[in-house]
C-alpha cells in the first residue's frame, strides 16, 4: 500500500515541502488536518470511538470525522473526503468552517480547520478507522470531558475547549 504524502508547512501554514506521513509524524513537522462536527436536528453531536488499531489515540473518542489533508489537497476537499471515507456521508453542500487552530502539541503539529455539518445518520462507519459511534448532547460531552479527559483524543479536547469558550453551540 502506498504511503500517504503530506504537505509540510511553516508557522504561517504555507507549504514548504512534501514528505511521507511516517516521516512527518516522526520528525514533528507541521502539516494540515480537518475535524468535522456533525450535529443532528436535536442538537446532539455524533462522536466516533477511534479504532484500537489507530497509531494515535487508539480507542479514544474523537470528532465525528477527522483526518489529514493530503499533498496538494485543500482543507475543504479533505473535509468532504473524510466525511465520505469515515462516515459514508456526502452532504448536499460543504460543511461550514467554524475556526482554525494553530499547529501545536495538542494537535500533533497540525494546523486544523474545524467544520460543522448537519445530518441524521445512520452512517456507514469505516471499520479501519472507527470502532463505533454515537450521538451525545453537548451538556453530556462537557460533563464527560471534565470527569474523564483521558477518554478523548487531545485535538478533540482542544476543539471542545474552544467551542465552549466561544459559545459556538
What letter does residue 113 receive in the DSSP assignment? E
Give this prediction's pTM. Answer: 0.94
CATH number at residue 39: 3.90.79.10
Predicted confidence at residue 168, as pLDDT, reads 73
pLDDT classification of 2: cutoffs 50, 70, 90: confident
Residue 43 phi, psi dihedral angles, 5° rounding: 90, 5
Range of the domain at 54: 5-166
Mean pLDDT of 12-32: 96
Domain count, the chain: 1
Q: What would the pLDDT profile of 121-146 be if each residue is shown by its tens digit? A: 899 999 999 999 999 999 999 999 99
Residue 61, C-beta contacts closer than 8 angstroms, at least 6 positions apart:
47, 48, 49, 50, 151, 152, 153, 156
Helix (H) or strand (E) holding 160: helix 154-166
Tell me which DSSP letter residue 123 carries: -
**Residue entry with cell 485535538:** 155
Percentage of the chain surpassing pLDDT 70?
Answer: 99
What residue ranges in the chain does DSSP mark as E strands? Answer: 5-9, 15-20, 31-39, 45-50, 61-62, 65-68, 96-101, 110-118, 130-136
The C-alpha cell that represents 69 in the structure block? 489533508
Whether 92 shows a pLDDT value over 90: the answer reads no
Which of these ranges, 31-40, 87-96, 105-114, has the smallest mean pLDDT? Answer: 87-96
In 3-state terms, what secondary structure has residue 22?
helix
Parallel, antiparallel or unpaired: strands 61-62 and 45-50? antiparallel
Amino acid at each position: 500500500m502506498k504511503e500517504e504524502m503530506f504537505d509540510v508547512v511553516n508557522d504561517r501554514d504555507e507549504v514548504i515541502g512534501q514528505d511521507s506521513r511516517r516521516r512527518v509524524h516522526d520528525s514533528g513537522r507541521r502539516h494540515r488536518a480537518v475535524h468535522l462536527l456533525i450535529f443532528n436536528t436535536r442538537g446532539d453531536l455524533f462522536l466516533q470511538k477511534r479504532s484500537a488499531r489507530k497509531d494515535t489515540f487508539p480507542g479514544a473518542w474523537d470528532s465525528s470525522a477527522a483526518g489529514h489533508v493530503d499533498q496538494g489537497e485543500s482543507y475543504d476537499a479533505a473535509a468532504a473526503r473524510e466525511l465520505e471515507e469515515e462516515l459514508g456521508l456526502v452532504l448536499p453542500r460543504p460543511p461550514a468552517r467554524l475556526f482554525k487552530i494553530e499547529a501545536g502539541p495538542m494537535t500533533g503539529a497540525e494546523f486544523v480547520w474545524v467544520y460543522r455539518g448537519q445530518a441524521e445518520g445512520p452512517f456507514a462507519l469505516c471499520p479501519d478507522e472507527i470502532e463505533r459511534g454515537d450521538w451525545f448532547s453537548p451538556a453530556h460531552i462537557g460533563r464527560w470531558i471534565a470527569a474523564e479527559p483521558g477518554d478523548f483524543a487531545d485535538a478533540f479536547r482542544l476543539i471542545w475547549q474552544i467551542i465552549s469558550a466561544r459559545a459556538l453551540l
